[in-house]
Chain A
Amino acid sequence: MYQTNARVAKPGLLSQILSPSLKTREAIAAYIFLAPFLIFFSIFFVRAVILAVEYSFYDWRLLRPTRPYIGLENYIELFEDEVWWTAVQNTFVFTIMTVIGTTIVALAAAIAVTQPVRGQGFFRVLLYMPSLFSVGAVGLIWVWLLSTQFGVINYGLSFLGIRPINWLGDPDLVLPALSLTTIWWSFGFPMLILIAGLQGIPEQLYEAARIDGANGRQLLFNITLPLLRPAILFVTVTGVIAHFQVYGQTYIMTSGGPGRASYSVVYYLYQMAWVAFRMGYGAAVAVAIAVIMALLTTLQFLFISRRVEY
């Protein structure tokens, strides 16, 4: 039955597509398809961003009845707060260490796993496993591994003659310790991306180079790394954005301590908005974080568009 209908309908179809009534119908259908998404997006994103900016001009404390307009006061206070700048510095240090660490481990793992060795699939599954853990589980396990008195890591180091180290209690070591934890936790995702990148490199390139007498090191530096550059850039910049938002590890493992040595910007936001209940000031912090991240993301776009030249 459909077939006969189709035969009848077919000549009319082209003219229908061109007719304005169908165009209107298509547009109406499109808006209906979009409506649920746009409603949610407007409420929970657009509205929220606008309000965040607005709130940042008020001295709004959750437990006080009034909320006076104070102009740029929150931003001025933020710029003058040493703790904020400590948090910014910590976050950058942590991000740089973590991104370099994860990228190197992920790259080495991706290259190793794509060699013609046995158990490729097994290792891929195993190495991605920590990425499935919640930050809660990772934090609880690593606090214990890093424990000064009973930690397995200090026990391992004792064989090298190193005395017990207070990883999470030493202001100079707390960020590297959190970074190490995070590298263990999160190198799996960049590894998967780099594996996909490596699989995209044509095998003929290696064969041709081998015929020309290239050794393993030359293959790595003259073929693999240059061709993998876009993928490496991608995991680096997405890593920067992800790790700049570090919060859970700090919250669970150190509470920002010792002192303020592991305060991150998002942890600072949490402290201001949900411990001190300063919504206006917290909004200013959030806007400042958004500005920093937007700059970082712009750098990402610049890097990735540069890829086209290759």
Chain B
Amino acid sequence: MKVNHEKCGYCGACVGVCNKLAIELVENIIVIDTEKCNDCKSCMMVCPLNALEE
């Protein structure tokens, strides 16, 4: 998964559903560890702003 920082509202909803602990919110930036990410798309579903992309 990738995050589109232009669209992101840095709310952390995606972090809360990531079982792989692959997403972190660092100040106002969502950081995704692509090694840990298993492309389950949970983050995509809860994002209020469509900021997560494959």
Q: A and B from one assembly?
A: no
Residues of chain A touching chain B, judged by Cβ–Cβ distance below 8 Å, are: none
